[in-house]
Chain A
Amino acid sequence: MDGTRGSDVTIDRIYDEFVKGIWRENPVFVMVLGMCPMMAVTNTAINALAMGAATAFVLIGSSLLVSLLRHLIPKQVRITTYIIIIATFVTVADLTLEAMVPEIHKALGAFISLIVVNCLILGRQEAFASRHPTRLALADAAGMAIGFAFALLCLGATREILGSGSLFGFLLFGEQFEPWVIMILPPGGFIMLGVILLFFNWMRQRRMSRQVAAAAKEEAR
């Protein structure tokens, strides 16, 4: 059954579903979803961007299809059907990347195919796309995809700047810069993400303590 009726799909609602995926419910930083194999490809900004684009293609495409077909897919086989749909989109993305940008495809390797087990995509189909009308599902998928790509780009850009002294291949600090090589190696990926999560925790704590302080002030008045 639908989670909403047709008349609830207002522009405001669409906008809301779209925006939440970018910051408030950012899949990586807030929900810590779907980072598994993505960290291996965030050692340069361009790889992170390509991976984000591929994931966006798969997420938006499969959410669209799942939402369109949500009344036709029997409940018992829904997960398998979602996986078939997602795998199709991933294979298409893989072939397209191999044809259009072979260098990047070689750098990303098998990790493009691993998009199919990205918990984010299957999670959105199950939690949202299968229960909401098409326009909302599309907005949700687009928002999550942008939020995810943004997170990947943050991680990738930081690691590339610190680890290679460049951004998208352009040297930033000149030849003399001694790069912090560990950042483009696996330990750097873990540590960088840990630092970013730490930053988000700290921001959240600050916001909460401010809210508590404001509430206390209200009480005292």
Chain B
Amino acid sequence: MNEVELTISAGRKEPGSLRLVFTLALAGMLSGLAVAGVYQITKPIIDANKARALREAVFEVVPGSAQLQRLAFRDGRLVPLGRDETTTDPVLYAGYDAEDNFLGYAIDGSGPGYQDIIHLIYGYDPQRRRVIGMQVLESRETPGLGDRIYRDEAFVAQFSSLAVEPAITVVKEESEAPNAVDAITGATISSKAVIEIINAANGRWLDRLPPAGAEPPAPEGKRGEPMPTSDDGDAAGEGS
């Protein structure tokens, strides 16, 4: 450095504490602003994605459904929820077809699998007292073995008509019983976990449901939210 620069650097003082605090506070504020801004922009998209994923899952496990209604269990009864209403009460979903006929409930549940927790959602028909569909939402089971709980179509197909009385059981060979599920060879624990989760969720929910034949509560007018068809984008399914 030449002489001029040396003099300048010697004359520079150490920044005071006020300067340090000010810098940090400013950095924090700008950071908060930037993040809050991006959040405002992305939140609607993220919410729309989540809602669509949910609707597709319900559509899958309650076959034939085109509309869904969120229901919360509050004060001993089922209460319909508004579209954007959040709650800490337990929630399930009622599926209706395009003509507003009630088809069944969609219930979610989770529990420990072989590696980690499995999240799934399943459809339930209170009229016939049967499980009518099952979809694994999240799992970390062993690839090639445990992950067949969602990859193996034959396994998943067993849930399209499964009696829930007295409880769903897992068997190692094919069985004629209406409440038996044939476990996946080499993935007994993952298969059992799925059944355990559904049985436990049934234990929680079946007593809370209105008696068979009765319709679940719904708000006045049109039932629930229509669900997107396969060629719709996010725009469809936002009316109610």
Contacts and interface: CB of A to CB of B under 8 A. Distances in A.
A81 B143 contact: no
B35 A74 contact: no
B23 A99 contact: no
Interface string A164-179: 1000000000000001
A5 to B, nearest CB: 10
A91 B23 contact: no
Contacts of B9: 1
Interface string A48-90: 0000000000000000000000001110110011001101100
A208 interface: no
B204 interface: no
A95 B23 contact: no
Contacts of A184: 143
A185 interface: yes
Given A81-B27, A84-B27, A84-B28, A91 B143 contact: no
A77 B23 contact: yes
Interface residues of A, number: 27
Given A1-B9, A88-B31, A92-B34, A98 B42 contact: yes
A99 B40 CA distance: 11
Nearest to A96: B42
B45 interface: yes
Task: Say what secondary structure dominates the interface of chain B.
Answer: helix
A106 B20 CA distance: 39
A37 interface: no
Interface majority SS on A: helix, strand, loop or mixed? helix
B53 to A, nearest CB: 7
Interface in B28-70: 28, 31, 34-35, 38-39, 42, 45-46, 49-50, 53
Contacts of B50: 102
Contact of B20 (A76, A87, A92): A76
B142 interface: yes
Contacts of B23: 72-74, 77, 81
B142 A91 contact: no
B239 interface: no
A181 B27 contact: no
A85 B24 CA distance: 11
B150 to A, nearest CB: 14
B39 A95 contact: yes
B15 A92 contact: no
Contact of B144 (A74, A85, A102, A181): A181
B144 A84 contact: no
A128 B107 CA distance: 54
Nearest to B20: A77
The 4 closest A-B pairs by CB, nearest first: A99-B45, A99-B42, A88-B31, A74-B15
Interface of B: 9, 15, 19-20, 23-24, 27-28, 31, 34-35, 38-39, 42, 45-46, 49-50, 53, 138, 142-144
Given A80-B24, A92-B35, 4 more contacts: A77-B20, A77-B24, A87-B31, A181-B144
26 contacts: A74-B15, A76-B15, A76-B20, A77-B24, A80-B24, A81-B23, A81-B24, A81-B27, A88-B31, A91-B38, A92-B34, A92-B38, A95-B35, A95-B38, A95-B39, A95-B46, A98-B46, A99-B42, A99-B46, A102-B49, A102-B50, A106-B138, A164-B143, A179-B144, A181-B144, A185-B142
